[in-house]
Structure 1
């Protein structure tokens, strides 16, 4: 069993350790990282998951969402999503995403993208971006570029570059 709570600044060292354990140093070379550099995750959509209590309390998962422009339209990028490797497949990642996607929808966001494993993310409603529809800031395997509408039809007219919002711009 685990609990999910909003990320707080004091969680940062544990999150970094979890990301290192889950992804290793190669995480900094990914195209999605280009959208996080110089950008700020949305505090109301950044979560941690803990198992245990008291001295045995341990961070087992983390998820954040980032503001981006998708073909000029405001949207979100999901990730990184990290779960302790030995606890993968136990539902923590799915529960973190379900919470985040529900909160994002409640906040008025309409569209989310990510780069990841299609069969896994399909479990929470993500599907592949049609070939040639979006471009990322760096090479991405097209089969791993996924989207999910939080508002029906939000992706219907979106096409073009995925990019960070201009500095200081709220979307």
Structure 2
């Protein structure tokens, strides 16, 4: 995987093969950030990266000037890799080792952008739990957005606060906003 734009543009990041990850493809990531670039100033947003895995999305935000980034993953190896990579690039990324659902049930700190990349084989009930907890516990700032990455075979359009989806190859991004 590589960083698409910003201070660290072009830098390649190679995660250990033993990590249980499926990084967002460069094509899908570039398309997503083109959309976000038209809506937000990256140096003025706060980002919550759920199921952060390799930290791919967090690094992209950091490279573009975002200073308030929190990455949450249940896997110790993923958190360790994000910490090491962020330190080597001198990026400010706060990491939290936690089950995402346990984390979202705690007292919230609102974020501008919340990105969630759960396992593609999640049952629909678990996908539905993500926006439910985020909107119920007010994790989003005004004008904020929740983006869930999932397979094109998963349909989230029936969930509360769903706005729209964008498809890139086998990847889908579903956007959720406060009604």
Give the TM-score of the pair, scaled to structure 2: 0.35
Name the one with the larger strand percent. Answer: 1
Taking CA–CA contacts closer than 8 Å with sequence separation of 6 or more, which of the two structures ends up with the larger relative contact order? 1
Name the one with the larger helix percent. Answer: 1
Structure of higher CA gyration radius: 1
Give the TM-score of the pair, scaled to structure 1: 0.36
